[in-house]
Structures are given as structure tokens and as C-alpha cells.
Amino acid sequence: MTALLWTITGALFAAGLAMVVFRRQMLAMLLGVEMMLAAVNVSLVHHARLFGDPGALAAVAIVIAIAAAEAVVGLSLILRALRAGRGVDADGLTELNG
Amino acid sequence: MSLLTAMWTFPLAAAAFCLAAGRFGRSTARAAALAVSIVYFALSLWLLRPFVASAGQAVLVVSGRPLAFGVSYLLSADGLSAALIALTAFLNLLCVLASWKLDVSAGYWAAFQALAAALAGVFLARDLFFFYVFWEATLIPMFFIVGIWGSDNRRHAAVKFFLFTFAGSILMLLALIAAVVAHHGLTGVWTWDLKALLGTEFGAAAPWIFLGLVVGFGVKIPIVPLHTWLPDAHTEAPAAGSVMLAGVMLKMGLYGLIRVAFPLLPGITVAWAPYMALVAGVGTVYGALCAMAQTDLKRLIAYSSIAHLGFCLLGLVSLTAVGLAGGSLQMINHGITTGALFFLVGFLYERGHKRGLSDFGGLVKRAPVFSFFFGFAVFASIGLPGLNGFVGEFMCLSGIAISQAPIYAVVGCVGVTLAAAYLLPAYQSVFWAPEGPGSVSDHVDDLDAREKGILWTLCALMLWIGLAPHAWLQVLEPSIRGLVK
Amino acid sequence: MTAAQIPMTAWLLFIAPVTAILIGFFVLRPLKPEWTHWPILISCAIVTLCAFSLTARVYSGRGSFDVNFWRWAAAGDWAIDFGLRIDGPGTAVLSMVALVGSLIHVYAAGYMEGDPGFSRFFLVFHLFFLAMIGLLTANNYVQLYLFWEMVGVASYLLIGFWLHKESARKAALKAFLTNRVGDFGFLLALLLILVNFHVAHFHLLYVVIGSQLAHGQIPSSLPLIGLLLIWAACAKSAQFPLYFWLPDAMEGPTPTSALMHAATMVTAGVFLLIRSWPLIAAVPYLPHLIAGIGAFTAVFAALLAATKRDLKRILAYSTVSHLGLMMLALGMGDITLAIFHLIVHGFFKAALFLCAGNIGHAVHKPTVDVDEVGGWAKALPATYVVFWICALSLAGIWPMAGFYSKDAIIDFAREGGGWIAWAAPLISFGSAFYIFRMLLLTFHGDRPEQNRLQKHPHEAGPMMVVPIAFLAVGAALVGWIAPALSRLVATGWIGLPVGLAGMTGVLNLPGNVSLPALSVRDMFSLGGGMAALGAASAYYLTMIDAGFDWRWRKAKPGTDAAFDADLGWKTLVAAFASGVAAFARVTGRVFDKGVWDGLIESGAEAFYDVSDGLATFAQGRLNDALWWMAAGALLILGMAIR
Amino acid sequence: MNLLAPQAVLAAGVVGALGLGLRRRSSGAAARVLALAAPLIALLALCRLLASGSTGAPLPPLIHLDLKGLYWQAAIYLGALPLAVLSSGDDVETALFLGATLGMGLLAAAATLPMLFVGLEFMSLPAYLLVARAGEGNARGRLEAAVKYFFAGAFAGAMFLLGMSLYYAATGSLAAVAGPIGPEAQAGLALMGAAALFKAGSVPLHWWLPDVYEASSPEVAGFLSTSMKAAAVLFLMRIVALAPQAEFASALPALGALTTLVGAILALRQKRLQRLLAYSSLAHAGLLILGVGAWAALGRGPQATLALLFYVVAYAFMSNGVFLFLKASGLETREQLRGYAARRPWLAAAFAVLLLSLGGIPPTGGFLAKFLVLWQAVRASLWGPALVAALAALASLGYYLGLVRDAYFEEPAGAAPAEGCKTAALVVGLCALGALLLGAAPLLMGGLGVWR
């Protein structure tokens, strides 16, 4: 059971990671981030049950909340970028370099 | 506040005083600088007095307050320290006088006072942390002196000087830390007190510590092949800057060897002395050969410093009483002689705004007094017996001749022989030979009373040390007695 | 004997010149430069009187001493004390130096009159005088070295006195640097002496070495020390292979040539060897080496002197040749004879130089070629007479002084056997030849080939005639002091009261040094005969076959050039010097500035290049950044779970 | 006094600032007062706490305040003061600033991993927005920087969480454990450490750093490079301290040395001053990471802790000072800096002092900081990293001295730049003074009692 759940966690996390790293559409990247955060919750919940530890469940709740906050911040930044006419392509943001 | 503390705090306060005086105009700052350097010189003589009176036996100690990190504020003076501080204060005073006609801001005067403060700190500190702090602090004023008030290529030279010497001193810092850590490992006590660290068995780390120290000090001396910052810095610095640089700052390296490296690691010192003698011997010949190839008068004198400091090092690494005493005396001698030469080149540059050997000619007619002093200093620098240079060189060579590596005495003698081969042709070409095309000799007037005064004092010292070095040696010799193997 | 017992006359030897120089430099030079010579001439008189007084005391057997009075430098168990040594050899040479020197000072006052550098000349000239006195009274090697260098500097300044002339500047430099090369040997010898014997005092050294010899050991360092001292002497006394600076040194004013480069300074090398004699004599073959060098140089320089045309140059080569004779005498172990010739030579050579000066003065030229003069006997009668006396003396014709000293050496060499025995008559023949060639070409005859100066020569004033007359008297008569000199030299060496560190009392020189008494010689000898033959040859080739000198030069330009280059030796030396300079240029410019400093600076540049290289990674792409982060995290992960 | 008083003050400040936003019209004065007052009061409260010497867990098991946490807070609030002084008066920005500071305070006080995560995000999320919002001009650049910062930060957060879950799965604990731990837990520690290293700006997790520091307004860059960096270092130390033997800590010296070298080298060729200072900040981050490595290797002793603490305190002065110099002078490129000493000697002098301090030249605080860290590195026998750090210090002097050279040795070129902010100039002066005094202060104060 633990192995299966770790596989799910790993797969989800890896998929999120791949999205963040390889996609250039910023919304997709944001999605990837959220997936990574969510993936961790799978493992956390499982082990919280395994250890009978309510503290870890609280942690899960916190993670969910913070993931939401992160989404808000991310979306607002992406929106601003869009509004500023810079599109949603991450490769459009290369003014700062060197 | 004790005299020793005053020796470095006074010039520091003096620097601030000069800056403050600068608000009332440049000449006020200048007058302030003169006043404080006179007072400082008097102070330094006061410091020197007991050592002269008791033939160097006295030791003044400020037994310091322990501070954090095993560091304690610990100052002490012996004959060598006091003599070097007196040299610093003396050249500082002459530098102020020599720069009298420069139209410079208060910062210039303040920088020299600050430099004197840091140098005094180096010569007094007996706590390795403070030693290092003062050591590095000397770089800052000199960096500005070269960079702001130097000649055409000053910016590059200033940065090169700073980086090059910093590269050496950071290795020295690592070595010092290693020594302190090793001492802690053996005793469980953190201390930077040099005296407490003496006698520590460093074991396998010893060669590395010594190497770090020697490289750190060696860059400053400078030993060949770590010397290439020197020609640039000396050439580009303003006259007074070159004087302080050559006159005192180069001595820091040798002083560090005597004060820190040799006593801390006596075993390695003995084992490595022949190799250091090799380096020193090569330096005397190499510096001379390089000087022969120069066409810029100031650069030539800069290279001559490399050769002369090679003699000092030869004396020190002989680890004999005569060599160490001679090396110490030669430190003072070189300060006086090369100081005089740099002052003279500075006066020449002030007048003609050139330094090339071929830019002048026939000055002996236009400026006989100038020519006299230059010749005097040149002969002192060559090591003419009866003047100061010979005493030091001869004692250094005597020392190395009775050391483990007497062969380098032969190399040193070659260096002595070559000294004439670069200075005299240069002297002839500037002062004797007729003016060539494009000569600026027309702009060169003879020395005025102020400049004459500066050089009379220096030349009188050259003669004094040359004829009666014994009194000077008596002040210096007790300081190095403990190093004799 | 203590320092307090040193007689006032000995102190005055130093006090008088120092005072004169100080007054001259600080008072007269700024205020009244044309008076600079007055205090100096007074000082000369005082020094001469004191020198003679001291000599008389030493001769009487009471006045010699060797006392330390000044601790110069010390550290640990190393110490150098300065002192005074008044003994036979010292005072013998000192009297000559003082007398000849004073006369030349007087001469110079006339010769240099009106020169813009008059005051400078006299100050340096007298500084030399002071240094020479110091050299002769030094009681240890360090002190001797000090004054040895000081005479070198004075010589440098005076050779280059006419600074505007390039040849003068070059000659000055050449002289100084060559002597420096010699000093390399002196300095090393000094160090070796200190290392091996821990003393630099002559007398203590004699004692130390003497006691070692008494036990049948020769200290192993002694041969090397001796060789190095000989090397130093070769530079100062212009012996082969370091003689070449001396002929060029004639660029200086004539009084300089007379005093320093003929009569006194160049004899310092001989004097050094005299002082070191107990060291050198202890090593077999070293005396032979000295004799060999001396004999070779004497013949070689005599040959070259016969081919030169410049009057002062001829005399310079003649000086080299005669210094070779002194070395020869010394090498054969006869100190007294060497000193004797040194003194005699001082008189006649100084006079000859001053005669050359008078000839030049007559036409207002510093130097004159034999090409340019001829038949001037009438115009310069006094000079002519003096020249004759001195030429006879130089050639060694009875009853001139030169006969006694020179012939003694020649005879002594004959007795010694070997190739030196064959060289000796050649020297006699050669020196008579060149000096009479010079005399005859200058004062006699009228040759069509001569490129005569279109001027009317005139005799100089009394300031320049009286001194040379005195010198000529000396050149004629000092030969008769020989027996007295023998006693003087011996007196000073044996039974010497000393006051040195660790040693007081009366000491005798350790054995092994022979001081044979000089005897009055016969008037007929091989040397005299050869000299007469040389003079006759010179007469034939200048007076009977008058154009010979010019003809062979034209006919054999190659040979002429070879002689001009001293048979190739000068070329070799020049090549060596330019080789050193080229090496220095390569070291200083190409290697130090270009290669080594360039390497270091390019090390700093390398940081900037790396900076550019790294910057190309930072393109600002977000996905790249995230990729690197993922990779970095993996890297750290990998490090943690190795 | 309650151990959480500083955090409480800051929280009140956040609420107050948000409340100000409810008003129709805002003059900005109230926000300014709030921005200044909250950190200042927090700092004063902290000082009282430190003076009383009390430590403990006011909110177990989530919050535990040890001396380290308290002292670090001091460094953090100190680093935040310049931004507080220079607050724009915008209530949202004020709230963001105070929120970020509160997040750091929480991070310093966290005793469990979820709490640590809360602190981390609480300081990060406002910071993203602060970068995007605060300051004038170059809105495009700031936005770009904020987006990059956000994605990188979110990514790091995810890594932290993955590590946390791994650690939790292996040990069953969300806080420090006493016994030895297995490889899974080590992997978890490594991932959490990577997140902390990201915050601190270690190579190769540093890519966001130069962009963010360059584009944000100078005072925000100063805040990020000081307070945020101090918090990140503490964060890293907390993670190392989770287990008796954290394997990944052995990589820290190498990473730190690499970071300081890369930062120093990259700064050499920068033409824009703020980007140059950004890379310089990277170089200093490297030394801090090296210091943490030494701290870990030395068994987390108090002396190494002191070295790190002193470093972050000294750096709070130096880095804020140089960034604010840009605001005070209005300079943007090195070209404009030429001959600046002649234009405003006092400001240039302060700048020079700060640069020399950053370069580690005695007698400045920067020297003492570098010295102490190097000392610890040598003590831990980290010779390789120490030598690399020395090399990097040499390279970094290349541009610190280069800046001094530009300001002092070159002739002024072109028109004088626009007059900058006066308040900022004052702060720069105070920072320079602080950097200078810190050269001696720890010695005179007996090493804060930790290390006599």
C-alpha cells in the first residue's frame, strides 16, 4: 500500500515537475506547481493514517490552504503579465539576463 | 592612554583633523598636516628614546585587555619596532614637506596620516589578529594615494597593487588561522597572542602554515617571482606615495618574517632557510637585471628596490646575528636611500612632468644641487662603503656567508656588482649627458630651500649610518637576538 | 698602545683634508668658488709634513703602531673595528703619495684655472687624496675596502669630469664598472676571510695564519682568498685581464691622470697585495701567478704603448706596463723592491703626465696626438728638460732613479729563471723604445707626414712648471733612498706595537716573509743595455727613418686596427658587456614585463573571460532556471544518499 | 513579556495596514508610520526579550524560541528597517512588507516542519508581490522578476513539501529527531535543504536571484538580500538540525564555495549597478552557506553560530547600504558612477566604506564577518572550500575596488545624474557607520558573551 501510494505521489509530482520545467505556457506551469503540491498531500495523508498522527493531517490542511494562496498570487501575477501585454509565454520574459 | 596606543591613534585622529581642516581650505589642511606630522615625529622619537638610552634592551609593553575570540589588544615595542616607527614618522614628515606645493585636497594629507597609523599598528601589534587588521588597513590609504594622486596609469596600478597584495595576505590570514586552530587543538585555548603561540608544535601543518606566511609576507617584500605589482605601483604613485611604499611598506614583509614567521616556526625556518636564500639571491640579481633594462627612471628605482630587499632577505634568512642585524639595518637604510631617490624623481617629475631617462639631459649644469643629491643617493644605493647601503649589504652578505647556504653570498656579490651597472648609466644619462631631442630639461630648476632641507637630512643620515652604524645596530640587535640559530 | 697614544700627526692626516673639503664645499663653493683650492693646498702641506714626520718616526724604530679606536659595527660575535696602522710599507708609500699628490695639487691649481668646474675638481681631487691616505693607513680589510671604493668613486667623478664629452662619460663608467668587477673579488675574499678566520685585521690575520702555518697546515680557503685578492688587485692596478679601463681613463683632466691613474690610485692594488702578502705567500704558486700576470702585462702593455699615438694613452699603457713590473717584483717575493719601484714610478710617471699636460695646455687641448706635435723642444724648454730626465728614469738609464728600481727587478727576474727571465729584457727594451719614440716625436724633428697643429705653443706658467721640476728631481734622485727604504719597511713590520681587540703588546710578523735588503746596483747590467738598445731603435725609427710610423700604419691597416683593439682583448670585453646588457634587456623587458607580468595579468583577465562564459548561461529563460533548479535538487539529493 | 511579542506586533501591523486600505482616501502618512513603527517596536520588544534572556516554547509544539531564533529575528528586523524608513506610504505595500517580515519572524520561531512551511510561504508570497509592486519605473522588469521569483519559489516550496513527506514517512515525526535516520529521511532532509538553499541563493538554485534583485526597487532588493537571506540561513540551519547527522550538510561547503566563486566572477562584467550588487549578494550567500557547512561539521557549536549571526547582522548593514546608495544617488550604471566622489563626497565616502566592508577589508564589519566564517571553515578542516572562498574574495575585490575606482579615480563624464532620495542618503550614511563600527563592536562586546 505504501509503495503504491508513493508511486502515485511520485508520478504526480514528476508530472507536475515536468509541466513546470518543460511547458512554457505560464498557466500550465502554475498547474504543474499545484500538482506537485497536491501530490505530496497523497503521501502525507497516507502516513498520517499509518502513524495515527492528527498533526500531519493538520499539515495537509495547511498545505491545501497555502497552495490556494499560491494559486491566487500566481494567477494575479500572470494576469498582470497578460494585461501588460507580455503574453502567457514564459519565454517572453527574458528582459532580465546576463 | 599609553604611548604605544597613542602611536597609532594619534595619526588616526590626525587624519580626521586634516580632513576637518580641509573645510577651511586646502592650505589649512596642509598646515594641519605639517603640524601633526611634526608632533608625530616627536612622539616617535620619544618612543625610540629608551631604546637608544639602554642600547635596545628596553621593551615597552601594553599588556592588553582580552577581547572576544581569543583576541586581545596587545601592543609592545622593542628596538626594531621603535626604529621602524621612527622611520615611518620621519618619512611621513618629509612626505608632507615634499608635497608642499601640490594642489591637493585634504584627503591627500589625511591619507598619509592614516597610513602612518596603520603602519605603526603593524609594527606594534603583538596580537596576530590586530597585526593582520593593521596589515590590511595599510592598503586602503595607499590605494587612494596611488589611485587619486598618481600619474597616468594610476588606476590600473592602484587596483593591481591592492589585489596582488591582498592575494598574498589572505593566504597569510589562512595560515594565521590555521596556527591558532592548531594551538587550540593542542591546548583548548583560543588565543591570537603571538607570545602564547610561540613554541606550539604544529606537526604536519607546519610547512603549510609557513608557506602561507612566507607567501603573504613575500608579496609585500616583494620576493621574486611575486614582485610584479611593485614596478607598476611605485611608478604610478605620487612621489610621496612611492616614498612611503618603498620606504616603509615593503619593510612590513620583512618585519613580518622576523616577528611572526620565524619565531612561530623555528624548525621549518631552519629547514627552509636555504631555499629562501635562493629566492633572495635570485631577487638581488634579477632585480638588478630588470633595472638595467628600464628606460623610466622611477621604474628603474622600483626594480632596484627588489634587488635591495633581496639583500635584506638574504641577511634575515641567514639566521645569524650579523645577518639579522644587518638585514634589519638595511630595512632602515633602504627606506632612507630609496626614499631620497623617489623624492628626487618626484621633484624631477614635478618640474618636467616626465620620467624617462631620455627626457632629460645636462641637468648638472641647470641644477647642480639637484645633481649632487641625486648622485649622493645613487652612490648610497649602489652600496658605496662609507654610506649606509654598504653597511647593510655587507652585514647581510657576511651573515649568509656563515649560514647553511654560503653559496648565495656569491650570488649576492654579483648583485652588488650589478647595482652600479643600472644606477650610474641612468644618472649619467639624466644629469651628465647633453640634452637630446624632446628634452624637458629646460623646465627643471634647481632645488629650493625646502627640497634641499629634505635631502640634507636624508643624506646626513646616509652618511651617519654609513660611518657609525654601531649605535644603530645596538638599538636593533636585541630584537633579533632570539632568532639566531 | 691605546688610542689615546696615537700621535697628533696621524690624526692630522685626516683632520686636515676633511676640514679643507668641508670649508671648500660649504663655504667657498657657494661664495667664492675660485678660491676653493686654498684650504686644500694648505691641507696638502699639512698632510705632507705629517706624513714625513710619521715616516721619520717609523724609520727611527719608535713610531710604528697598529691601534683600533672605533667600533664600526657589531652584532652577536661578529664585530668590525676601525683603527690606524702606521708601519713601514704604509708610511713609505704615504710619503710618496703625500709629496707627489701635493705637487700635483699645485700643478692643478694652474692647470684648471678658469675651468667652470674648478671648485668641483678640487673638492673631488682632495676627496681622492683623503681616501688614499685612508687606504694606506687602514688596519683591516673592511676599512681598506671602504677607502678602496672611495678612491674608485673619486676616480669615476674625475674621469667623467668633462661631462659633456660622451667619451669621458663612457670612460668613467667603464672604469667604475671594471673596478666593480674587481671589487666582486675583494668583497668575496673579505667574506671568506671573515668566515674562516673571524677577523679582518691585518695583524690578527697574520698571527692566526702564522700559527696555523707553524703547525704545517695551510688553511683550505687560503688559495681562493688569495686568488680573489689578486683578481681585485688586477682591476685596481690595471693588470691583464682587467687593465683595459686605464687607457680610457685618460679622458679626465691631466692632473687626474697624473695623480690617480699613474702615481697613486692604481698602485692601490699592489698595496693590497703587499698588505695581504703573508696570506698569499703562504700558498705555493700564488706568488708565481702574480709574477706571471705582472710579466705578461708588462710586456703586453709595452708593446701596445709603442703603437699608440695619443700622448696620454702612451703614458697610460706605460703605466700598465710598470704596474706589471711592480707585480712581477712582488710575485718574486720582494716586497721592498715592489714598494721601491712604486715610489720611483710615482715620481717619474706623474712628471711625465704633467709634461703631457703642459704640451696640451700649450695648444689648449686636453690631449694631444704625436701626429700633431713635433719639434717643440724650443717652445717648451722646461717641459722638454723634465721630460728628458723622466724618460731616462723610466727607461732605467743610470744614474736615474728608475735605473735602481727597474734594473733590480729585471735582474731579480733573470735570477728567477723560466719564461719570466726572458720577458724581463723585453720589458726593458720596450719601455725605452716607447718613451723615446714619444720624446723624439714630440720634441724633435719635423716630419712631413705630421698633421701639425697651426698654433704657436707656449710654455705654461710657474704653477705648472715648478711642480714638475720638483718631480723631475725626485725622478732623478729617489733611487738613492733604497737602503733607507729597506730599513723602513722592515722596521714597520717587525716589533709592531698593537692595540687591537683581544691583543695588545708588541708583535713580530710571523716568518716566511723575506725582506731582502736593497743594494746599490752596478751601472752596467743587462737591463741597462737593453734600454739603450730600445732608445737607439726609437731614434732610428723616428729620426733617421722619420716617416716610419706613418708608413707602416698606411701599409698595414689591419695590424693597426688590431693594435687599436689591444690585439682583440678590447673587442672581447665589449662583446661581454653588450652580452650582459642584452641579457638584462631580455630579462627586464621581454621576460619580466612581457612573459611573467603578462601571465599574471592575463590570470586576472581570465576571471573576466570566465565571467563572460558564465553569463552566456544566464539567458533569463524561466524554464532553464527551473530545469537547473530541478537538476540542482537532484544533485543535492544524490550527495545526501550516496 | 511573551516570547511572541515581536511577531504579534508585526501581525498587528499587517492588520492595521490592511485596515488602512478600507479607507477611501489615504494620505500615506499613516501607512508610513505603521511601516516604520511595527518593525521598530518589534525590534525593541526583541531587545527586551534578549536582555531578559528568556527562551522557551510559548506555543508547543509548533513554536519554540531558542536564543538562535531570537537573535536571528534581531538580524531580520534590523535588515528590514531601511525599507521601513523608506516606505512609499502605499497601504498594500506596507501590508506586504510587514507580512513578509512577519513570515520571517514565524520562520525563526517555528519548531515543526509544517510551521516552518507556513513561515516560509508567509514570507515568500508577499515578497513576490512586493517585488512586482513596489518602486517607480521599470514596471515591466519588476513584473518579469516577480513571475520568475514566484515560479521558482513555488517550485522550491513543492520540493520542501516532498522532502517533508519523505522525512515524515521515514521517521514519523514532523520535528527534529534524536536518533540516527535512514536514507529515506536523509533524502527528505536533502530536498528540504534544497528548498532552503534555493531561498539562500545557492548555485545552481540561484537563477532567480540576480533577476529579482536587479529589477526590484533598491530598497526591496536590500530587504530581500538581508532579512530574507538571514531567514533563509536560519531555515537552512533548522533543517540541518533536524537530525544528528544530516548527510546533505557535507555538500554545503562545496556548494557555498562554488556559489561565492560564481557570484564573484559573474559580478565582474556587470555594467548595471544593481545587477552587479545582486551577484555580489550571491557571493556573500555562498560564504554564508559555507559557514553553515562548517557549523554543521563542527557539531553546531555556539562559536560557529556566532560567526553566522555576526555575518548576517553585518551584512544587514552593508547590503542595505549599497542598495540604498543606488536610491540615494539615482545611479544605474557603472558608467554614471565615474567621478561621483567629486559630486557628492560624503555619499561616495559612505559608499566606499560599504564596498570595502563588502570586500572584507579591515577594519570593517565585513572583514570580521568573513574572517569568522573562514576561521570556522578552517577549524572544520574545510581547506578546499576555504581556499576557493579566498579566491572568490580576491575576485570580488576586483569589482568592489573597481567601483571605488570608478567613483574616485575617474573623471566625471556626462551630465550629473538626477538628485536621489535624501532619506536614503541618510540611511546609507548610517549603514556605513554601522559597517565601520561593527569592525570593532563584537570584540569590545566580548563576543556577545558566547565566545570570550
Residue indicated by cell numbers 589578529: B129
Identify the weakest region by mean pLDDT among A36-45, C98-107, D36-45, D132-141.
Answer: D132-141
**Would you say residue D415 has pLDDT above 90?**
no
Better-scored residue on pLDDT, C354 or C553: C354
d(CA B219, CA B164): 8
Predicted pLDDT at C505: 53
Mean pLDDT of chain B: 92
Q: Is residue C518 assigned to a domain?
A: no
- In the predicted model, what is the mean pLDDT of residues C366-384? 83
> Which of B401-405, C398-402, D357-361 bottoms out in mean pLDDT, i.e. has the lowest?
C398-402
Count the helices and strands in chain A (H runs, E runs): 3, 0
Shared-domain flag, residues C609 and C539: no
What's the average model confidence in pLDDT over D3-29? 87
Range among B44-58, C450-464, D386-400 with highest mean pLDDT value = D386-400
* CB of B104 less than 8 A from some CB of D: no
Say what the pLDDT of residue D240 is.
Answer: 94
Q: Is C596 within 8 Å of B395 when comparing Cβ atoms?
A: no
Q: Quick one: pLDDT at residue C513? A: 44
Nearest to B69 among D390, D402, D447 (CB): D447
Q: From chain C, pick out residues whose CB is under 8 angstroms from the CB of A21.
A: 623, 626-627, 630
Q: Count how many pairs of residues, chain B against chain C, have C-beta atoms within 8 Å.
A: 138
Instruction: Give the closest-approach CA distance of A96 to chain D in angstroms.
Output: 6
Is the same domain home to C119 and C235? yes
Nearest C-alpha of chain D: how many angstroms from C613?
9
Q: Chain B: nearest CA to D370, how far in angstroms?
A: 11
Residue D166 C-alpha, separation from nearest chain A C-alpha, in angstroms: 8
- Chain A nearest CA to D256, separation (Å): 21
Name chain B contacts of C73, Cβ cutoff 8 Å.
391, 395, 469-470, 473
Cell output for C518: 736593497
Q: Residues C458-466: what's their mean pLDDT?
A: 85
Closest Cα partner for B301 from B381, B389, B229, B363? B381
Checking if the pLDDT of C517 tops 60, the result is no
CB pairs under 8 A between A and D: 118
Residues C552 and C597 reside in one and the same domain: no
Read off the pLDDT band of C512 (50, 70, 90): very low
Say how many C-beta atoms besides its own lie within 10 A of residue C523's C-beta: 11
Burial (CB < 10 A; 0-12, 13-18, 19+), residue B230, is buried
Interchain CB distance below 8 Å, D248 and C639: yes
Query: B289–C74: do the CB atoms touch at under 8 Å?
Result: no
8 Å CB contact of A21 and C630:
yes
Let me know if residue C441 belongs to a domain. yes
Question: How many contacts (CB atoms, under 8 Å) link B and D?
Answer: 85
Rounded Cα distance between B250 and B220, Å, is: 6
Own/partner long-range contacts of C594-602 (Cβ < 8 Å, ≥24 apart): C596/B225, C596/B228, C597/B228, C600/B164, C600/B228, C601/B160
Does the pLDDT at position C555 exceed 90? no
Residues B441-463: what's their mean pLDDT?
92
The shortest C-alpha distance from D444 to chain A (Å) reads 43
How far apart CA D92 and CA C211 sit, in angstroms, is 104
Contact D269 C608 (CB under 8 A): yes
ipTM above 0.95, yes or no: no
Report pLDDT for C510.
45
CA dist., res. D396 & res. D265, Å (int): 7
DSSP C285: T
- Is residue D277 a contact partner of residue D245, using CB atoms and an 8 Å limit? no
Please determine, for residue D307, whether its predicted confidence score (pLDDT) is greater than 60: yes
DSSP C522: P
Strand, coil or helix: A1: coil
Residues C604 and C470 in one domain: no
Residue B55: other Cβ atoms inside 10 A: 15
Contact list, C183 vs chain B (CB under 8 Å): 416-417
What is the SS3 assignment for chain B?
CCHHHHHHHHHHHHHHHHHHHHHHCHHHHHHHHHHHHHHHHHHHHHHHHHHHHCCCCCCEEECCCECHHHCECCEEECHHHHHHHHHHHHHHHHHHHHCCCCCCCHHHHHHHHHHHHHHHHHHHECEHHHHHHHHHHCHHHHHHHHHHHCCCCHHHHHHHHHHHHHHHHHHHHHHHHHHHHHHHHHHCCCCCEHHHHCCCCCHHHHHHHHHHHHHHHHHHCCCCCCCCHHHHHHHHCCHHHHHHHHHHHHHHHHHHHHHHHHHHCHHHHHHHHHHHHHHHHHHHHHHHHHHHCCCEHHHHHHHHHHHHHHHHHHHHHCCCHHHHHHHHHHHHHHHHHHHHHHHHHHHHHHHHCCCEHHHCCCHHHHCHHHHHHHHHHHHHHHCCECEHHHHHHHHHHHHHHCCCCCHHHHHHHHHHHHHHHHHHHHHHHHHHCCCCCCCCHHHCCCCCHHHHHHHHHHHHHHHHHHHCHHHHHHHHHHHHHHHCC
Q: pLDDT for B366-382, tens place per residue?
A: 899 999 999 999 999 99
Touch B-A: 3+ C-beta pairs under 8 A:
no
Q: C242: which 3 cell numbers? A: 682587467
Quote the pLDDT of residue C489.
81
Tell me how close the Cα of C444 comes to any Cα of chain B, in angstroms. Answer: 39
Q: Name the burial class of residue B134, with classes exposed (0-12), middle (13-18) and buried (19+) by CB atoms within 10 angstroms of its CB.
A: buried
C-alpha cell of C353? Answer: 703626465
For C339, other C-beta atoms within 10 Å of its C-beta total 29
Cα nearest neighbour of A70 on chain D: D125
Asked if A70's CB is within 8 angstroms of D154's CB, the reply is yes
D425 near B CB under 8 A: no
Which chain B residue has its CA at the smallest distance from C76's CA? B321
**Lowest mean pLDDT segment, chosen from A16-20, C124-128, C637-641:** C637-641
Residue B469 in contact with partner chain C when CB distance is under 8 A = yes
- More confident site: D249 or D60: D249
Per-residue confidence (pLDDT) for residue B132, from 0 to 100: 96
Residue C30 and residue C168 in one domain: yes
In angstroms, what separates the C-alpha of A95 from chain D's closest C-alpha? 7
| Residue of chain C minimizing CA distance to A25 | C623
Residues of D in contact with B71 (CB under 8 A): 443
Spatial separation of the C-alpha atoms in residues B7 and B119, rounded to whole Å: 10
Q: Tell me how far apart the alpha carbons of residues D97 and C401 are, in angstroms, rounded to a whole number.
A: 111
Angle between helices C401-416 and C286-305 (to 10 degrees): 130
List, for residues D63-107, the tens digit of each pLDDT value: 999 989 999 999 999 999 999 999 888 888 999 999 999 999 999
- Same domain (yes/no): C531, C618: no
Q: Is residue C436 part of a domain?
A: yes
How far apart CA C254 and CA C243 sit, in angstroms, is 19
**Chain C CB within 8 Å of residue B278 CB:** no
| CA distances (Å), origin D60, targets C598, D46, D112, D115, D234 | 64, 20, 10, 11, 20
- Whether the bond between B222 and the residue before it is cis, its omega within 30 degrees of 0, is yes
User: What is the average pLDDT value for chain A, to the nearest integer?
Assistant: 90
The dihedral of CA A10, A12, A13, A15: what is its sign?
A: positive
Tell which residue, B98, B220, B231, B99, has the closest CA to residue B171. Answer: B220
> Do the chains contact at C76 and B484, CB–CB below 8 Å?
yes
Residue bearing the bigger pLDDT, C377 or D35: D35
Hey, is the C-beta of D374 within 8 angstroms of any chain B C-beta?
yes
Are both C632 and C497 inside the same structural domain? no
Q: Output the pLDDT for position C421.
A: 82
The mean pLDDT value of chain C amounts to 87
Of C612, C628, C637, Cβ closest to residue D204: C628
Residues 6+ apart with CB under 8 A from C427: C295, C298, C299, C302, C321, C324, C325, C410
Per-residue pLDDT at C506 exceeds 60? no
CA dihedral B114, B120, B122, B127 (to 10 degrees): -110
* Nearest-10 crossing angle of helices D383-409, D365-379: 160
D449, pLDDT greater than 70? no
Continuous segment of H or E residues that includes residue C78: strand C78-86
C-beta atoms surrounding C116 within 10 Å: 9
Q: Which CATH class is domain A2-88?
A: mainly alpha
**Statement: residue C518 has pLDDT above 60:** no
Single-letter amino acid code for the residue at D241: A
Number of domains within chain B = 1
Is the CB of B66 inside 8 Å of chain D's CB atoms? Answer: yes
Touching pair D, B by Cβ (3+ pairs < 8 Å): yes
Indicate if C609 and C462 belong to the same structural domain. no
Among B133, B153, B209, the strongest candidate for a mutation testing the D interface, having the largest count of D CBs within 10 A, is B133
- What are B125's strand-pairing partners? B75
| Domain boundary residue, one of C564, C589, C616 | C564
Angle at alpha carbon of residue B6, lines to B3 and B12, rounded to 5°: 165
Q: Where exactly are the structural domains of chain A?
A: 2-88
Phi, then psi, of C70 in degrees rounded to 5 = -150, 120
Q: Write out pLDDT tens, residues C607-621.
A: 999 999 988 888 888
For chain D, the average pLDDT equals 91
Of C76, C160, C596, the CB nearest to B432: C160
CB-CB under 8 Å, B390 with C146: yes
Among B143, B170, B181, whose Cβ lies nearest the Cβ of D379?
A: B181
Q: Which residue has the higher pLDDT, C500 or C416?
A: C416
Residues C507-531: what's their mean pLDDT? 59
If one counts the domains in chain C, the total is 2
Q: Is pLDDT of C516 > 60?
A: no
Would the pLDDT of D195 be above 60? yes
> Is residue C511 very low, low, confident or very high in pLDDT (cuts 50, 70, 90)?
very low
Determine the longest span between alpha carbons in chain A, in angstroms.
Answer: 51
Q: What is the pLDDT of residue D101?
A: 96
Band of the pLDDT at C64, cuts 50, 70, 90?
Answer: confident
* Cis before D363? omega within 30: yes
Contact B147 D405 (CB under 8 A): yes
Provide the pLDDT confidence category of residue C404 given band limits of 50, 70 and 90: confident
Q: Is residue C569 part of a domain?
A: no
Q: Identify the band that residue C419 occupies on the pLDDT scale cut at 50, 70 and 90.
A: confident
Closest CA in chain D for residue B176: D375
Burial label, C535 (beta-carbon count in 10 A; 0-12, 13-18, 19+): buried
Q: D297 and D350 in contact (C-beta within 8 Å)?
A: no
Compute the distance between CA of residue C260 and CA of residue C251 in angstroms, rounded to an integer.
12
pLDDT category at C514 given cuts 50, 70, 90 is: very low
Cell of C62: 719608535
pLDDT band for position C377 (50/70/90)?
Answer: confident
